Amino acid sequence: MRFKPGKIALSIAAPVFAAVFSLAVSSASLLATNKSPREAFSLMWEFGSGAGSLMEAVNLATSYYIAAIAIALTFRAGLFNIGVEGQLRLGSLFAAYFGAMIVLPPVLHILAIFLIAMFVGGLWASIAAYMKVKRGVSEVISTIMLNSVAGGVSAYLLSKHFMVKVEGSNDLATKPLPASGQFPDLMPVLKKLGVEEQPGGGVYGMLLVAIVLGIAFWFVVNRTRFGFELRSSGMNPIAARVSGVNSKKMTFIALVASGAIAGLAGLPTLLGDTHSYTLGFRGGVGFTAIAIALLGRNSAVGMAISALLFGFLEVASRTLELIDIAPETYVIMQGSILLSAVIAYEVVRRYQLTLQSHALAKAGDK
């Protein structure tokens, strides 16, 4: 490939436009409430760029990223798994419960927990996959509804069967994972690299898993036959079928694989921090991840950047309360980033098409 400065400029244009636009929208919303955007943004930057905050942002991003990969896998196949939220919740619950029961040496124990989470997430997604393939039920509807069911099932299982008493607390929680089932923190490694320890800080070891998953996602989707057939089914299901892709099989595999990956998305916190599934299990990751997958355009690198961005905004915005600004301002930021990114990508795409047809006019008139 030749180096094409124009091409690179184009690919940067969209995100830059999106960032500027969302800054403008959030500023407007701050001004509307008589707050100074400058003060707010500088405070957010000051707080958010601190080492402890950055670590926390990375930790948040780890879960977001894994969940976004699960969603992107179905987007690429022309499907939409909104059920990541439910799949990761059940995956985490079962992983926490059974993970605490089994006795295995350290590495194997974690692998076993992974398998449990993936199995449960995949199994839950397979309900929607089965209904889609056998009965033509839209996976969008079924996975949304299965989210609610998963919420109910997990609450029931936790309160009736899986919980142990927590001393001095009203919280319900599963039995804590033994040390062999906890994913070691990356802090010791980071310290060797010169990163100073932060009070309450740390970086989940699951970050490494997320990175490996991202590379695997990129490789499988872009470089393998399975990935090609997946993408073909997404882009033109009829042509994919004509080319010999078994569309039902592809749908089933994509949804179940997505569910299995989603099952892992709750583990960074579980294995790195809480070590047990509690009533206070963090919700909403599966939904935020939809926005991250959209913003990152279902690409491994793009989603990594947007996951980090969302994690950063979420952590940094907590400080806004100090100057009496609703921390939900970051929701406005997320929304406007997403909106402007989608528009900017479309504008850039159309511009690229125009460029191409010009190039083609020249080639055609040869």
Q: Which residues of this protein are in contact with other proteins, per CB under 8 A?
A: 222-226, 228-229, 231-232, 235-236, 238-246, 353, 356-357, 359-366
- Minimal distance in Å, beta carbon 362 to other proteins? 4
Closer Cβ to other proteins, 51 or 235, answer by number: 235
Inter-residue contact 165 to 176 (CB < 8 Å):
no
Inter-residue contact 195 to 51 (CB < 8 Å):
yes
Question: Which residues, 6 or more positions from 241, have their beta carbon under 8 angstroms from its beta carbon?
Answer: 247
Closer Cβ to other proteins, 49 or 246, answer by number: 246
Closest CA relative to residue 139, chosen from 269, 236, 256, 217 = 256
Closer Cβ to other proteins, 191 or 350, answer by number: 350
Inter-residue contact 333 to 20 (CB < 8 Å):
no
Inter-residue contact 348 to 13 (CB < 8 Å):
yes
Closer Cβ to other proteins, 134 or 191, answer by number: 134
Closer Cβ to other proteins, 103 or 361, answer by number: 361
Decide: helix, strand or coil at residue 278. strand
- Minimal distance in Å, beta carbon 264 to other proteins? 24
Tokens 């690919």 belong to 11
- Minimal distance in Å, beta carbon 77 to other proteins? 13
Question: Which residues, 6 or more positions from 272, have their beta carbon under 8 angstroms from its beta carbon?
Answer: 59, 182, 183, 185, 202, 204, 205, 206
- Minimal distance in Å, beta carbon 249 to other proteins? 10
Closest CA relative to residue 125, chosen from 191, 174, 79 = 79
- Minimal distance in Å, beta carbon 7 to other proteins? 10
